[in-house]
Chains A and B, each alone.
Chain A
Amino acid sequence: MRLPFFNRTPTFDHGIHPVYHKETGHLPIRRFPFAPKLYVSLEQHIGKPAIAIVRVGQEVLRGEIIAKPDGLFSLPIHAPATGIVEALEPMPSDNGEMEMCIVIRVYEADTQEVQMRYPHDLEALRGRELALVMQEIGVAGKGGATFPTHAKLIPPAGKQIETIIVNGVECEPFLTCDHRLMLERANDVMTGIKYARRVCGAPHAIIAVEDNKMDAVAALEAALPADGSVSVKVVATKYPQGAAETLIKALLGREVPAGKRSSAVGVVMNNVMTLAYIGRLLPLGEGMTERVITIAGPSVERPGNYIVPIGTPLRYLLEYVGARSTANEIILGGPMMGTTIPSVDVPITKGVCGVLAFGKKDAVPPQIYPCIHCGECVNACPKQLNPTQLGMLAAKREYDVMAEQFMLGECFECGCCSYVCPSHIPLVQQFRVAKYFLKNREKVT
Chain B
Amino acid sequence: MSKHRIELRAAPHQHSGHSVPTIMRNVVYSLLPICGFSVWQYGLSALALLLTVTATCLATERLLNRNANTLGDWSAVITGVLLGLTLPPAFPLWMAIVAGFVAIAIGKAMFGGLGHNPFNPALVGRAFVQAAFPVAITTWVPAFSANRFSEFVPTTFTAPLMIPPDIVGWVKQQGVDAFTGATPLARWKFENVTASAHDLLTGAVTASAGETSALLILACGAYLAIRKFMDWRIPVAVLGSAALTAWAFQLVDPTHYPAPIFVMLSGGLMLGAIYMATDMATSPVTPVGVWIYGGIIGVMTVIIRYFGGLTEGVMYAILLGNALTPLIDRYTQPRVYGTGNKEQP
Contact = CB atoms under 8 A, between A and B. Distances in A.
**A, B: real partners:** yes
Given A369-B20, A373-B281, A422-B23, A328 B6 contact: yes
Given A327-B4, A422-B22, A370 B337 contact: no
Contacts of A327: 4, 6
A151 interface: no
Nearest to A257: B343
Contacts of B335: 384
Interface stretch (B81-89, B113-121, B170-178, B309-317): B113-121
B336 interface: yes
Interface string A420-439: 10111010110010000000
A108 interface: no
A378 B287 contact: yes
Contacts of A340: 6-10, 13
B134 interface: no
Contacts, number: 173
Interface in A248-295: 249, 252, 254-260, 265
Contact of B12 (A344, A386, A415): A415
A374 B339 contact: no
A344 B1 contact: yes
Contacts of A18: 14, 16
A200 interface: no
A125 interface: no
A384 B6 contact: no
A342 B337 contact: no
> Interface residues of B toward A: which range?
35 or more
Given A329-B6, A340-B6, A375-B285, A255 B338 contact: yes
Contacts of A335: 11-14
B11 A366 contact: no
B336 A328 contact: no
Contacts of B18: 376, 420, 422
Nearest to A252: B345
A258 B343 contact: yes
A419 B337 contact: no
Interface in B1-53: 1-16, 18-20, 22-23
Q: Which of B280, B282, B285 has the most CB of A within 10 A?
A: B285
Nearest to B282: A373
Contact of B15 (A333, A388, A419): A419
Interface string A312-356: 000100110001010111110101111111111000000000001
B285 A370 contact: no
A319 B241 CA distance: 63
Contacts of B290: 375
Q: Which of A256, A336, A340, A384 has the most CB of B within 10 A?
A: A384
B114 A370 contact: yes
Contact of B285 (A265, A328, A386, A418): A386
Interface residues of A, number: 73
A173 interface: yes
A141 B338 CA distance: 24
A292 B177 CA distance: 80
Contacts of A376: 18
A371 interface: yes
B114 A372 contact: yes
Contacts of B231: 374-375
Contacts of B19: 366-367, 369, 422-424
B337 A255 contact: yes
A424 B7 CA distance: 19
A366 B3 CA distance: 26
A420 B16 contact: yes
A2 to B, nearest CB: 22
Given A258-B339, A325-B3, A407-B339, A386 B334 contact: yes
B1 A384 contact: no
Interface string B305-345: 00000000000000000000000010001111111001111
B23 A374 contact: yes
A24 B12 CA distance: 21
Interface in B236-255: none
A245 interface: yes
Contact of A255 (B2, B280, B287, B343): B343
Nearest to B21: A369
Q: Which of B3, B8, B334, B337 has the most CB of A within 10 A?
A: B337
Contacts of A255: 337-338, 342-343
Contacts of A423: 19-20, 115
B337 A373 contact: no
A415 B11 contact: yes
Given A255-B337, A386-B334, A424 B12 contact: no
Contacts of B342: 255
A257 B345 CA distance: 9
B158 interface: no
Contacts of B343: 255, 257-258
Contacts of A415: 11-12
A16 interface: yes
Q: Which of A260, A329, A337 has the most CB of B within 10 A?
A: A329
Given A340-B9, A419-B15, A325 B338 contact: no
A5 B254 CA distance: 38
Contact of A378 (B281, B282, B334): B334
A418 B12 contact: yes
Q: Which of A356, A375, A424 has the most CB of B within 10 A?
A: A375
Contacts of A215: none
Given A258-B339, A383-B337, A371 B115 contact: yes
B286 to A, nearest CB: 6
Contact of A386 (B7, B20, B286, B344): B286
Interface string B246-289: 00000000000000000000000000000000001111111100
A363 interface: yes
Nearest to B115: A370
12 contacts: A173-B14, A318-B1, A331-B11, A338-B11, A344-B2, A372-B280, A373-B283, A375-B284, A384-B337, A389-B329, A407-B339, A422-B20
Given A257-B344, A375-B231, A379-B287, 8 more contacts: A325-B4, A335-B12, A375-B280, A375-B286, A384-B334, A388-B285, A420-B18, A422-B22
Interface of A: 16, 18-19, 173, 245, 249, 252, 254-260, 265, 315, 318-319, 323, 325, 327-331, 333, 335-344, 356, 358, 363, 366-367, 369-376, 378-379, 382-386, 388-389, 406-407, 410, 413, 415, 418-420, 422-424, 426, 428-429, 432
Interface of B: 1-16, 18-20, 22-23, 73, 112-116, 231, 280-287, 290, 329, 333-339, 342-345
